[in-house]
Amino acid sequence: MGNVIGEAVLNEWDEDNESCSFRISFVPGAHGRGLGTEATRLIVGYGFEKLELHRVSLKVYAFNPRARRAYEKVGFAPEGVLRDALLWAGERVDAVVMSILAPEWFQHRGRPERAAVAR
């Protein structure tokens, strides 16, 4: 059996609005191999295809452009900025709110670059 390298979670489920939040975290050294993008596709896909969600949202901090790019690869779009949302190492940091909707997911199944080429 392999080692645990992180977690990917759908949380804050709002059954009435068919929505939830997504978060993902990895241990140090597990970054840079595309695992975050693939784990995001798998978990978010489960939310839309099995749980029948309409919306999945997340927050990504400004100091983490690699994560933001991974979310964009899956089809998340920025909605807005929470200014000075986090005090990190003595500095205030913005958080970008991002989301993906079911119609977007089902159009490209977490691979918007393929949908763009097919047009």
How far is the C-alpha of 104 from the C-alpha of 115, rounded, in Å?
10
pTM confidence score: 0.88
pLDDT tens digits for range 7-31: 999 999 999 999 999 999 987 876 6
Query: How does residue 111 score in pLDDT terms, banded at 50, 70 and 90?
Result: confident
Tally Cβ neighbours within 10 Å of residue 13: 13
6-118 carries CATH number 3.40.630.30: yes
The answer to whether residues 93 and 86 touch, using CB atoms and an 8 Å cutoff, is yes
Nearest to 79, CA basis, from 102, 59, 108, 107:
59
How far is the C-alpha of 36 from the C-alpha of 26, rounded, in Å?
8
Q: Which sequence spans correspond to the domains of the chain?
A: 6-118
pLDDT tens digits for range 30-83: 667 678 899 999 999 999 999 999 999 999 999 999 999 999 999 999 999 999
How far is the C-alpha of 34 from the C-alpha of 3, rounded, in Å?
17
